Structure 1
Amino acid sequence: MNSASPDPTDGAIGDATPDLAAFRQTFRRHAAGVAIVTAQREDGTPVGFTVTSLASLAAVPPLATFNMALSASSWPAIAETDRVVIHTLGVRNRDVAQTLSGDNSQRFIGDHWYRGPHGLPVIKDTTAWMVGRIIERVQVHQSAVVIVQIEQGGLGEDDAPLVYHERTYWRPGTPV
Protein backbone atom coordinates (compact mmCIF):
# COMPACT_ATOMS: atom_id res chain seq x y z
CA MET A 1 0.00 0.00 0.00
CA ASN A 2 1.18 3.53 -0.78
CA SER A 3 2.69 5.23 2.28
CA ALA A 4 0.47 8.26 1.64
CA SER A 5 -2.62 6.06 2.05
CA PRO A 6 -2.64 4.49 5.52
CA ASP A 7 -4.25 1.10 6.03
CA PRO A 8 -7.70 1.90 7.57
CA THR A 9 -7.43 -1.14 9.84
CA ASP A 10 -4.19 0.03 11.44
CA GLY A 11 -4.80 0.92 15.06
CA ALA A 12 -8.25 -0.68 15.22
CA ILE A 13 -9.36 -0.83 18.84
CA GLY A 14 -11.35 -3.83 20.05
CA ASP A 15 -14.54 -4.10 18.07
CA ALA A 16 -14.42 -0.45 16.98
CA THR A 17 -14.82 0.24 13.30
CA PRO A 18 -11.68 1.49 11.55
CA ASP A 19 -13.16 4.99 11.32
CA LEU A 20 -13.90 5.07 15.05
CA ALA A 21 -10.46 3.67 15.81
CA ALA A 22 -8.88 6.39 13.64
CA PHE A 23 -10.92 9.04 15.47
CA ARG A 24 -9.78 7.79 18.87
CA GLN A 25 -6.15 7.50 17.80
CA THR A 26 -6.22 10.95 16.19
CA PHE A 27 -7.34 12.66 19.39
CA ARG A 28 -4.92 10.66 21.52
CA ARG A 29 -2.19 12.06 19.29
CA HIS A 30 -3.58 15.60 19.46
CA ALA A 31 -1.76 17.33 22.32
CA ALA A 32 -4.00 19.48 24.50
CA GLY A 33 -3.55 21.77 27.46
CA VAL A 34 -4.88 20.48 30.77
CA ALA A 35 -7.37 22.37 32.92
CA ILE A 36 -9.54 21.63 35.94
CA VAL A 37 -13.16 22.70 36.31
CA THR A 38 -14.66 22.84 39.80
CA ALA A 39 -18.18 23.52 41.04
CA GLN A 40 -20.36 22.54 43.94
CA ARG A 41 -23.53 20.54 44.27
CA GLU A 42 -26.63 22.15 45.76
CA ASP A 43 -25.70 20.64 49.14
CA GLY A 44 -22.27 22.36 49.00
CA THR A 45 -20.27 19.23 48.17
CA PRO A 46 -17.33 20.15 45.92
CA VAL A 47 -17.01 18.52 42.51
CA GLY A 48 -14.26 18.82 39.97
CA PHE A 49 -12.74 17.16 36.97
CA THR A 50 -9.82 17.41 34.58
CA VAL A 51 -10.51 18.63 31.03
CA THR A 52 -8.53 18.98 27.83
CA SER A 53 -11.35 20.68 25.91
CA LEU A 54 -11.02 24.18 27.42
CA ALA A 55 -11.20 26.90 24.78
CA SER A 56 -11.63 30.65 24.56
CA LEU A 57 -14.86 31.51 22.74
CA ALA A 58 -14.76 35.33 22.83
CA ALA A 59 -12.81 38.16 24.44
CA VAL A 60 -15.78 40.56 24.68
CA PRO A 61 -17.65 39.44 26.63
CA PRO A 62 -15.09 37.01 28.03
CA LEU A 63 -16.46 33.56 27.20
CA ALA A 64 -14.85 30.14 27.61
CA THR A 65 -16.11 26.66 26.76
CA PHE A 66 -15.43 23.12 27.84
CA ASN A 67 -17.01 19.83 26.85
CA MET A 68 -18.10 16.87 28.92
CA ALA A 69 -20.01 13.63 28.62
CA LEU A 70 -23.51 13.54 30.05
CA SER A 71 -22.49 10.25 31.69
CA ALA A 72 -19.64 11.96 33.61
CA SER A 73 -19.98 11.75 37.39
CA SER A 74 -19.75 15.57 37.62
CA TRP A 75 -22.42 16.27 34.99
CA PRO A 76 -25.35 16.44 37.47
CA ALA A 77 -23.56 19.23 39.37
CA ILE A 78 -22.73 21.12 36.16
CA ALA A 79 -26.32 20.68 34.97
CA GLU A 80 -27.73 22.27 38.14
CA THR A 81 -25.17 24.92 39.11
CA ASP A 82 -24.84 28.52 37.96
CA ARG A 83 -21.09 28.99 38.48
CA VAL A 84 -17.82 27.15 37.99
CA VAL A 85 -14.13 27.81 38.47
CA ILE A 86 -11.83 27.07 35.54
CA HIS A 87 -8.16 26.49 36.40
CA THR A 88 -5.28 26.32 33.93
CA LEU A 89 -2.43 24.05 34.93
CA GLY A 90 1.32 24.10 34.75
CA VAL A 91 3.71 21.18 34.93
CA ARG A 92 3.87 21.58 38.72
CA ASN A 93 0.13 20.71 38.84
CA ARG A 94 0.50 17.21 37.36
CA ASP A 95 -0.39 15.46 40.64
CA VAL A 96 -3.56 17.49 41.19
CA ALA A 97 -4.58 16.88 37.56
CA GLN A 98 -4.21 13.16 38.23
CA THR A 99 -6.19 13.46 41.47
CA LEU A 100 -9.07 15.32 39.80
CA SER A 101 -9.23 12.74 36.99
CA GLY A 102 -9.34 9.82 39.45
CA ASP A 103 -11.73 8.41 42.03
CA ASN A 104 -14.58 10.85 42.84
CA SER A 105 -14.39 10.12 46.56
CA GLN A 106 -10.71 11.16 46.67
CA ARG A 107 -10.77 14.36 44.58
CA PHE A 108 -11.18 16.81 47.46
CA ILE A 109 -9.31 15.00 50.21
CA GLY A 110 -6.26 17.03 51.14
CA ASP A 111 -5.15 20.63 51.25
CA HIS A 112 -4.83 21.24 47.49
CA TRP A 113 -7.97 23.43 47.44
CA TYR A 114 -9.90 26.07 49.38
CA ARG A 115 -13.33 27.72 49.26
CA GLY A 116 -13.20 30.80 47.05
CA PRO A 117 -15.76 33.19 45.57
CA HIS A 118 -19.38 32.00 45.96
CA GLY A 119 -18.05 29.18 48.18
CA LEU A 120 -16.68 27.44 45.08
CA PRO A 121 -13.69 25.11 45.33
CA VAL A 122 -10.49 26.75 44.05
CA ILE A 123 -7.43 24.61 43.38
CA LYS A 124 -4.28 26.04 44.96
CA ASP A 125 -1.13 27.01 43.07
CA THR A 126 -2.47 26.83 39.50
CA THR A 127 -1.17 29.12 36.77
CA ALA A 128 -4.55 30.88 36.61
CA TRP A 129 -8.14 30.53 37.75
CA MET A 130 -11.36 32.14 36.55
CA VAL A 131 -14.81 32.19 38.12
CA GLY A 132 -17.59 32.19 35.60
CA ARG A 133 -21.35 31.97 35.26
CA ILE A 134 -22.68 29.20 33.05
CA ILE A 135 -24.76 30.90 30.38
CA GLU A 136 -25.54 27.91 28.19
CA ARG A 137 -25.31 24.13 28.06
CA VAL A 138 -25.63 22.75 24.54
CA GLN A 139 -26.36 19.04 24.41
CA VAL A 140 -24.89 17.21 21.43
CA HIS A 141 -25.67 13.49 21.38
CA GLN A 142 -24.41 12.16 24.73
CA SER A 143 -22.19 15.15 25.48
CA ALA A 144 -22.51 18.85 26.26
CA VAL A 145 -20.67 22.02 25.38
CA VAL A 146 -20.74 24.30 28.42
CA ILE A 147 -20.39 28.04 27.77
CA VAL A 148 -19.15 30.16 30.67
CA GLN A 149 -19.00 33.95 30.96
CA ILE A 150 -15.94 34.83 33.03
CA GLU A 151 -16.62 37.22 35.93
CA GLN A 152 -13.34 37.28 37.87
CA GLY A 153 -10.07 35.46 38.28
CA GLY A 154 -6.48 35.49 39.30
CA LEU A 155 -3.02 34.55 38.12
CA GLY A 156 -0.59 32.25 39.90
CA GLU A 157 3.10 31.66 39.27
CA ASP A 158 3.85 31.06 35.60
CA ASP A 159 4.99 27.57 34.64
CA ALA A 160 5.42 25.45 31.53
CA PRO A 161 1.92 24.34 30.51
CA LEU A 162 0.81 20.83 31.40
CA VAL A 163 -0.05 18.99 28.19
CA TYR A 164 -1.88 15.70 27.67
CA HIS A 165 -0.81 13.52 24.74
CA GLU A 166 -1.11 9.77 24.10
CA ARG A 167 -2.66 9.20 27.57
CA THR A 168 0.33 10.82 29.31
CA TYR A 169 1.03 14.21 30.89
CA TRP A 170 3.91 16.11 29.29
CA ARG A 171 6.00 19.25 29.54
CA PRO A 172 6.26 20.94 26.12
CA GLY A 173 9.62 20.62 24.42
CA THR A 174 11.66 23.13 22.51
CA PRO A 175 9.77 25.73 20.42
CA VAL A 176 9.93 25.25 16.68
Structure 2
Amino acid sequence: MDEMPNLGDLELISDPADALRNVFRRHASGVAVITLLTEAGDPAGFTATSVTSLGTNPPLVSFNVARGASSFSSLEKCGYVAIHTLGEDDLALAQQMAGAAENRFKADNWVRAIHDLAVFPQASSILIGRIRQVISVEANAVVIVDVEQALLGEEKAGLLYLQRSYRSTGEVLAQNS
Protein backbone atom coordinates (compact mmCIF):
# COMPACT_ATOMS: atom_id res chain seq x y z
CA MET A 1 0.00 0.00 0.00
CA ASP A 2 1.21 3.47 -0.79
CA GLU A 3 2.17 5.65 2.14
CA MET A 4 -0.88 7.37 3.63
CA PRO A 5 -0.72 11.18 3.61
CA ASN A 6 -1.19 13.07 6.85
CA LEU A 7 -4.96 13.20 7.34
CA GLY A 8 -4.94 15.00 10.65
CA ASP A 9 -7.25 13.46 13.23
CA LEU A 10 -9.01 11.11 10.80
CA GLU A 11 -9.00 7.48 11.95
CA LEU A 12 -8.58 4.77 9.30
CA ILE A 13 -11.00 1.85 9.63
CA SER A 14 -10.00 -1.01 7.33
CA ASP A 15 -12.78 -3.52 8.03
CA PRO A 16 -15.55 -2.75 5.46
CA ALA A 17 -18.48 -3.55 7.79
CA ASP A 18 -17.01 -1.44 10.61
CA ALA A 19 -16.24 1.33 8.12
CA LEU A 20 -19.85 1.39 6.92
CA ARG A 21 -21.34 1.31 10.43
CA ASN A 22 -19.04 4.05 11.72
CA VAL A 23 -19.53 6.39 8.78
CA PHE A 24 -23.33 6.12 8.73
CA ARG A 25 -23.53 6.65 12.49
CA ARG A 26 -22.10 10.09 11.69
CA HIS A 27 -24.55 10.75 8.86
CA ALA A 28 -27.92 12.11 9.97
CA SER A 29 -30.92 10.50 8.29
CA GLY A 30 -34.52 11.62 8.22
CA VAL A 31 -36.90 9.24 9.99
CA ALA A 32 -39.91 7.91 8.10
CA VAL A 33 -42.62 5.34 8.68
CA ILE A 34 -43.65 3.09 5.81
CA THR A 35 -47.00 1.33 5.81
CA LEU A 36 -48.41 -1.34 3.50
CA LEU A 37 -50.95 -4.14 3.45
CA THR A 38 -50.37 -7.83 4.06
CA GLU A 39 -51.92 -10.36 1.67
CA ALA A 40 -54.77 -10.69 4.19
CA GLY A 41 -55.38 -6.92 4.03
CA ASP A 42 -53.99 -6.18 7.47
CA PRO A 43 -51.76 -3.15 8.02
CA ALA A 44 -48.00 -3.70 8.25
CA GLY A 45 -45.16 -1.24 8.45
CA PHE A 46 -41.86 -0.17 9.91
CA THR A 47 -39.61 2.77 10.70
CA ALA A 48 -36.98 3.60 8.06
CA THR A 49 -34.08 6.01 7.74
CA SER A 50 -33.24 5.22 4.13
CA VAL A 51 -36.00 7.04 2.22
CA THR A 52 -34.67 9.23 -0.58
CA SER A 53 -35.90 10.93 -3.73
CA LEU A 54 -34.68 9.43 -7.00
CA GLY A 55 -35.94 12.37 -9.04
CA THR A 56 -39.04 14.11 -10.35
CA ASN A 57 -39.09 12.95 -13.96
CA PRO A 58 -40.65 10.49 -13.32
CA PRO A 59 -41.39 11.08 -9.63
CA LEU A 60 -39.65 8.21 -7.83
CA VAL A 61 -38.51 7.49 -4.29
CA SER A 62 -36.59 4.59 -2.84
CA PHE A 63 -35.96 3.00 0.52
CA ASN A 64 -33.98 0.05 1.79
CA VAL A 65 -35.18 -2.81 3.94
CA ALA A 66 -33.67 -6.00 5.32
CA ARG A 67 -35.09 -9.07 3.60
CA GLY A 68 -35.43 -10.67 7.06
CA ALA A 69 -37.63 -7.83 8.34
CA SER A 70 -41.11 -8.82 9.56
CA SER A 71 -42.80 -6.76 6.79
CA PHE A 72 -40.60 -7.87 3.89
CA SER A 73 -42.65 -10.80 2.59
CA SER A 74 -45.75 -8.56 2.47
CA LEU A 75 -43.73 -5.76 0.89
CA GLU A 76 -42.72 -8.03 -1.99
CA LYS A 77 -46.37 -8.83 -2.71
CA CYS A 78 -48.20 -5.57 -1.98
CA GLY A 79 -48.90 -2.97 -4.60
CA TYR A 80 -48.81 0.28 -2.66
CA VAL A 81 -47.05 1.96 0.25
CA ALA A 82 -47.56 5.09 2.31
CA ILE A 83 -44.29 6.83 3.23
CA HIS A 84 -44.71 9.14 6.23
CA THR A 85 -42.14 11.83 6.98
CA LEU A 86 -41.87 12.56 10.69
CA GLY A 87 -41.30 15.68 12.74
CA GLU A 88 -39.61 16.01 16.10
CA ASP A 89 -42.95 15.58 17.89
CA ASP A 90 -43.43 12.17 16.20
CA LEU A 91 -40.79 10.36 18.25
CA ALA A 92 -43.38 8.07 19.88
CA LEU A 93 -44.67 7.05 16.43
CA ALA A 94 -41.13 6.28 15.21
CA GLN A 95 -40.55 4.11 18.28
CA GLN A 96 -43.97 2.45 17.98
CA MET A 97 -43.26 1.41 14.38
CA ALA A 98 -39.72 0.27 15.23
CA GLY A 99 -41.04 -1.95 18.04
CA ALA A 100 -42.47 -5.45 17.94
CA ALA A 101 -44.47 -6.05 14.74
CA GLU A 102 -47.54 -7.30 16.63
CA ASN A 103 -47.79 -3.99 18.55
CA ARG A 104 -47.32 -1.52 15.69
CA PHE A 105 -51.02 -0.99 14.95
CA LYS A 106 -52.55 -1.58 18.39
CA ALA A 107 -52.82 2.16 19.14
CA ASP A 108 -55.70 4.16 17.67
CA ASN A 109 -53.41 6.77 16.05
CA TRP A 110 -53.96 5.60 12.46
CA VAL A 111 -56.78 5.43 9.90
CA ARG A 112 -57.36 3.59 6.64
CA ALA A 113 -57.00 5.92 3.66
CA ILE A 114 -55.93 5.81 0.01
CA HIS A 115 -55.64 2.22 -1.32
CA ASP A 116 -56.86 1.13 2.15
CA LEU A 117 -53.35 1.85 3.51
CA ALA A 118 -52.84 2.64 7.18
CA VAL A 119 -52.07 6.35 7.51
CA PHE A 120 -50.85 8.26 10.56
CA PRO A 121 -52.48 11.73 10.26
CA GLN A 122 -49.94 13.36 12.63
CA ALA A 123 -47.10 12.87 10.09
CA SER A 124 -45.68 16.02 8.51
CA SER A 125 -46.34 14.55 5.06
CA ILE A 126 -47.27 11.27 3.42
CA LEU A 127 -46.35 10.04 -0.04
CA ILE A 128 -48.64 7.44 -1.56
CA GLY A 129 -46.96 5.33 -4.18
CA ARG A 130 -47.05 2.16 -6.22
CA ILE A 131 -44.13 -0.21 -5.85
CA ARG A 132 -42.30 -0.31 -9.16
CA GLN A 133 -39.48 -2.68 -8.30
CA VAL A 134 -37.93 -4.57 -5.40
CA ILE A 135 -34.25 -5.29 -6.00
CA SER A 136 -32.79 -7.95 -3.71
CA VAL A 137 -29.15 -7.43 -2.80
CA GLU A 138 -27.73 -10.10 -0.49
CA ALA A 139 -29.70 -9.91 2.80
CA ASN A 140 -31.26 -6.55 1.90
CA ALA A 141 -33.48 -4.97 -0.74
CA VAL A 142 -33.93 -1.62 -2.44
CA VAL A 143 -37.56 -0.71 -3.06
CA ILE A 144 -38.36 1.76 -5.85
CA VAL A 145 -41.73 3.51 -5.67
CA ASP A 146 -43.67 5.54 -8.26
CA VAL A 147 -45.13 8.55 -6.43
CA GLU A 148 -48.86 8.95 -7.06
CA GLN A 149 -49.91 11.64 -4.59
CA ALA A 150 -49.14 13.30 -1.28
CA LEU A 151 -50.92 14.32 1.88
CA LEU A 152 -49.36 17.40 3.49
CA GLY A 153 -49.62 18.03 7.20
CA GLU A 154 -48.13 20.63 9.47
CA GLU A 155 -44.64 21.81 8.57
CA LYS A 156 -42.40 21.09 11.54
CA ALA A 157 -38.79 20.44 12.50
CA GLY A 158 -37.77 17.05 11.17
CA LEU A 159 -36.96 13.95 13.18
CA LEU A 160 -33.44 12.65 12.53
CA TYR A 161 -31.53 9.53 13.45
CA LEU A 162 -27.84 10.10 14.29
CA GLN A 163 -25.31 8.32 16.49
CA ARG A 164 -27.90 5.64 17.34
CA SER A 165 -30.36 8.18 18.74
CA TYR A 166 -33.32 10.27 17.60
CA ARG A 167 -32.69 13.99 17.24
CA SER A 168 -34.31 17.16 15.96
CA THR A 169 -33.15 19.15 12.96
CA GLY A 170 -32.37 22.09 15.23
CA GLU A 171 -31.66 25.59 14.00
CA VAL A 172 -31.43 26.76 10.39
CA LEU A 173 -27.78 27.41 9.52
CA ALA A 174 -28.32 28.75 5.99
CA GLN A 175 -31.29 29.19 3.71
CA ASN A 176 -31.04 28.30 0.01
CA SER A 177 -32.92 30.59 -2.32
Are 2:35 and 1:28 aligned?
Answer: no
The residue type paired with residue 40 of structure 2 is: D
Q: 1:87 aligned to 84, 88, 111, which one? A: 84
Q: Does 1:175 align with 2:177?
A: no
Tell me which residue corresponds to 1:37. 34
Segments of 5+ residues of structure 2 without an aligned counterpart are: 1-5
1:100 is aligned, of 97, 100, 103, to 97
The corresponding residue for 2:11 is 6
Identical counterparts, % of pairs: 41
The residue identity in structure 2 corresponding to 1:138 is I
Matches for 1:159-170 after TM superposition, within 5 Å: 159-170=156-167
Distance 2:63 2:113 in 1: 21
Shift of 1:162: 0.3
RMSD between aligned residues: 1.6
Match of 2:75 among 59, 74, 78: 78
* Alignment length (residue pairs): 168
Matches within 5 A, 1:11-160: 18-160=15-157
Deviations 1:81-103 (A, max 9, x none): 01110110101111000000011
Q: Which amino acid aligns with 2:11?
A: P
Call closer, same or farther: CA 1:126–1:22 in 2, change over 3 Å.
same
TM-score (norm 1): 0.90
Superimposed CA distance per residue, residues 26-70 of structure 1 (whole angstroms, 9 cap, x where no aligned partner) = 111111000111001011111010111000012122111001111
